[in-house]
């Protein structure tokens, strides 16, 4: 499993990752994304998931917080960022460090 990365999302958003050598798994809805994540979780260390799929799967994704791998990261889709990925990263940093060091806005 060393260094293996994957992305789950709509076909247009994940296409560029395929060119970079990242394993791509198209998922047009949250059910398909959930099924795909269950299937690939033990095979990949890092899994990118588009924000549009990550938001409705928030509760499901909490199971991945229990183990060091895979790390599931929410990223913007072709439609741009909803801010959900940033919210998740901020929350993870606050849990780990007890303080918001990345997005401390005045």
Provide, rounded to the nearest whole percent, the portion of the chain with pLDDT above 90.
49
Lowest mean pLDDT among 12-16, 25-29, 40-44, 64-68: 64-68
Q: How many domains does the chain have?
A: 1
CATH of the domain at 73: 3.40.50.10580
Q: Is residue 33 part of a domain?
A: yes
Question: Residue 25 is inside which H or E element, if any?
Answer: strand 23-26
Q: Is residue 95 part of a domain?
A: no
Cα separation, 14 vs 8, whole angstroms: 7
User: What phi and psi values does residue 91 have, to the nearest 5 degrees?
Assistant: -60, -45
Residues belonging to the chain: 106
pLDDT at 42: 94
Contacts of 20 (CB under 8 A, 6+ apart): none
Q: Is residue 39 part of a domain?
A: yes
The whole domain housing 30 covers 5-81
């Amino acid at each position: 499993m060393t260094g293996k990365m994957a992305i789950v999302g709509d076909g247009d958003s994940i296409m560029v990752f395929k060119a970079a050598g990242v394993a791509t798994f198209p998922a047009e809805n949250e059910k398909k994304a959930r099924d795909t994540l269950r299937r690939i979780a033990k095979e990949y260390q890092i899994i990118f998931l588009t924000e549009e799929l990550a938001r409705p799967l928030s509760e499901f994704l909490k199971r991945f917080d229990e183990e060091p791998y895979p790390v599931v990261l929410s990223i913007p889709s072709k439609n741009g960022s909803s801010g959900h990925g940033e919210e998740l990263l901020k929350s993870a940093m606050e849990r780990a460090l007890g303080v918001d060091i990345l997005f401390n806005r005045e």
